[in-house]
Copies of this chain bind each other. A is one copy, B any other.
Amino acid sequence: MSLDFFIGSTTGATPKKHMKMPIVTVDVVLVTVDNDKISIGILEREKEPFKNQLALPGMFVNIEKDKNIEDTAKRILNEKIGINNVFLEQLETISGEIRDPRGWSISVVYYALISKNDINNIKDNFKFIPYKSMPMLAFDHNNIIEKTINRIRSKTSYSTLAAHFLPEKFTIAELHNVYQIIMNEKLDAQSFRRKVLALNFLKESGIRRGNGRPAQLYQLSHNYKTFTKTL
């Protein structure tokens, strides 16, 4: 397997003449909570390497189309899956000479959270697979998913991150339910209500909804990213 894919500039500027640069890709872990289960967006690869195997959606960085790597992630979500405007955050960057058979590669991993209600018009070859029954995937993608779930669990424990698995407006009970699914543990409903409201990241929408007594619908307030306390 040749590593000679990328040949450096011949101008006077660094990097050095003929210095080889790594392949740079972006992979996206698209996560949702559906039917009380964490699920991950997976597609079957249409091209080599690992053709016809299941994998996370990914692309090469295209420096003509993308202003930065987050743009690449958004392009993956748009072009490979068919969704836009979701919560998107960088996980980490993995790299190595053997993880991609095409050569020395870098992959910047993003994770995106989506409400199952926003899943429609997605591409045909794309499907959501429950996290707990994830099959073997191409590359090191099983490992990436593991790290993503750990990150989401960690952030969920001290923020309203889990709200991104719900529609724009949601009830405390719905948030409580998602919280318990992510954390895989029970938490007293009133304790949850008290703590999540104390974070001051939710604002009342004024609208109510429900089968029994109608519940207040909340939405994230603008300052929700100021993570501080512990749920």
Q: Scoring A residues 41 to 82 as 1 if CB is less than 8 Å from chain B, else 0, what string do you get? A: 000000111000000000011111001111000000000000
Interchain CA distance A108-B92 in the complex, whole Å: 9
Shortest A182–chain B CB gap in Å is 17
Q: Which of B6, B69, B97 contacts A7 (CB 8 A)?
A: B6
Shortest A3–chain B CB gap in Å is 6
With a cutoff of 8 Å between Cβ atoms, the chain B residues found around residue A93 in the complex are 69, 90, 92-93, 108
Taking CB atoms and an 8 Å cut-off, the chain A residues in 124-162 that contact chain B are none
Size category, A interface: 35 or more
Q: Are B96 and A67 in contact (CB under 8 A)?
A: yes
Shortest A71–chain B CB gap in Å is 9
Shortest A38–chain B CB gap in Å is 21
Interchain CA distance A90-B47 in the complex, whole Å: 31
Number of identical monomers bound together in the oligomeric complex: 2
- How would you classify the secondary structure of chain A's contact residues: helix, strand, loop or mixed? loop
Q: Which of B19, B60, B63 contacts A62 (CB 8 A)?
A: B19
With a cutoff of 8 Å between Cβ atoms, the chain B residues found around residue A2 in the complex are 9, 11
Q: Are B108 and A106 in contact (CB under 8 A)?
A: yes
The answer to whether A68 and B47 touch (CB under 8 A), given A2-B11, A102-B13, is no
Interchain CA distance A11-B104 in the complex, whole Å: 16
* Residue of chain B at shortest CB distance from A2: B11
The answer to whether A15 and B22 touch (CB under 8 A), given A69-B93, A90-B92, is no
With a cutoff of 8 Å between Cβ atoms, the chain B residues found around residue A104 in the complex are 63
Shortest A199–chain B CB gap in Å is 15
Shortest A66–chain B CB gap in Å is 8
Q: Is A181 at the interface (CB under 8 A from chain B)?
A: no
Q: Are A21 and B68 in contact (CB under 8 A)?
A: no
With a cutoff of 8 Å between Cβ atoms, the chain B residues found around residue A97 in the complex are 63, 67-68
